[in-house]
Amino acid sequence: MGAHAMTSTLVRRHGSRHETDPARLRAAARARDWTEIQERMLVPLQEAVYARVGLGPGARVLELGCGAGLGLLLAAGRGASVAGAETERPELLAYAERRLRSTVGAPSGGGPVLGDEAWGAAGPGAGHSLVVSFRPLGCTAGDGAALGAQLARALDGARRGTQVVLTGWGPPERCAASGVLRAAQRLAEPVAGPGAGRSAGRDDLEDVASAAGLRLEGSGRVSCPFGYPDQESAVRGLLSTGLLDAALAATDTARVAKELGEALHPYTGSDGSVWLPNVFRYLVARSV
């Protein structure tokens, strides 16, 4: 399908950035690692969700926490019009913009919509048929409340029957990566207190959907292993998720990387490669 059949809109939280700010430079490095190493690990989950909802031409997708835009690209490849909102990691949006412009083409609306005011323009009230979050719930304290707030904003004024898909980590015993992350998240406890990281709860997704007043339609599980050629790539990939930011703030990169390396040891093969088997959940619902 030609690029002219697909449109895209990106919602950015902030405008210009100071490239010499050390904190922003570190964020930019993690964004690069996310895009080059980690982001593709979620493709099996994204493809399973799009297959489950029958995504195709004519669909209008709004992704919450779109990051560097791989989920948007997959949706656009199925013929959908796509919009992306990213309120937590705005440094990733530059990658999403470049990808969408080079693959999808310039949006018919004249370009990406930037700024908080774009939520109203890009939300389902303007015609989106699917609101989806591929940022898995269930690994950091307060992530359910944060997702609930974004969902409420996205669904404000939504048409009845707007489809919603939420995703989350599966049971801890079936998610090797969550255990590795928790080992490093404990470094934040002296500062943030116990519970800076958490295990996924059985009803995490249902609780968020219920609080949003959604009607549940179904759910599923997807095998989504994280594979890396070596421990260095694994550490960089896991650091890029943002799930260890509290630990990084409480200690330093070297200490967090050391904890990750030790936790990764049981999953490291004789050739140095790392394989973390995981199962993720998704929940399908609709606005009422």
| pLDDT, tens only, 88-137 | 888 898 898 888 877 765 444 433 333 344 455 444 445 788 999 999 99
How does strand 226-228 pair with strand 274-276? antiparallel
Two tokens, residue 59: 């669909």
* Whole-number Å distance between alpha carbons of 215 and 161: 9
pLDDT band at residue 156 using 50, 70 and 90 as cut-offs: confident
Residue at 274: amino acid letter = V
Q: How confident is the model at residue 226 (pLDDT cuts 50, 70, 90)?
A: very high
Report the C-alpha gap between 206 and 93 in whole angstroms: 29
Question: Which range is least confidently modeled, 7-21, 206-220, 242-256?
Answer: 7-21
261, pLDDT greater than 60: yes
**Ranges 41-55, 75-89, 248-262: which has the least confidence:** 75-89
- The residue with tokens 């088997």 is 277
What is the CATH code for 3-172+198-225+279-286? 3.40.50.150
For the ranges 36-45, 112-121, 252-261, the lowest mean pLDDT is seen at 112-121
Position 140 scores a pLDDT of 80
Read off the pLDDT of each residue in 171-190 and give the average, rounded to a whole number: 92
Tokens of 4: 């002219």
| 267-278 residue pLDDT tens | 999 999 999 999
Q: Which amino acid is at 12?
A: R
* Among the listed residues 22, 47, 61, 51, the one whose alpha carbon sits nearest the alpha carbon of residue 163: 61
Instruction: Give residues with Cβ within 8 angstroms of 20, minimum separation 6.
Output: none
What does the mean pLDDT of the chain come to? 85
Q: How far, CA to CA in Å, does 171 sit from each of 39, 145, 221, 280?
A: 21, 20, 10, 8
In tens, the pLDDT along 53-99 reads 999 998 988 899 999 999 999 998 999 888 888 888 888 988 988 88
- Among the residues of the chain, which ranges form H helices? 22-33, 43-53, 70-77, 93-103, 118-122, 143-155, 176-185, 189-192, 204-211, 231-239, 245-250, 253-264
Residue 222: pLDDT band with limits 50, 70, 90? very high
Q: Which of 176, 268, 263 is nearest to 230 (CA)?
A: 268
Phi/psi zone of residue 76: left (φ > 0), alpha (ψ -120 to 50 degrees), beta? alpha
Compute CA distances 48 → 79, 137, 201, whole Å: 16, 17, 21
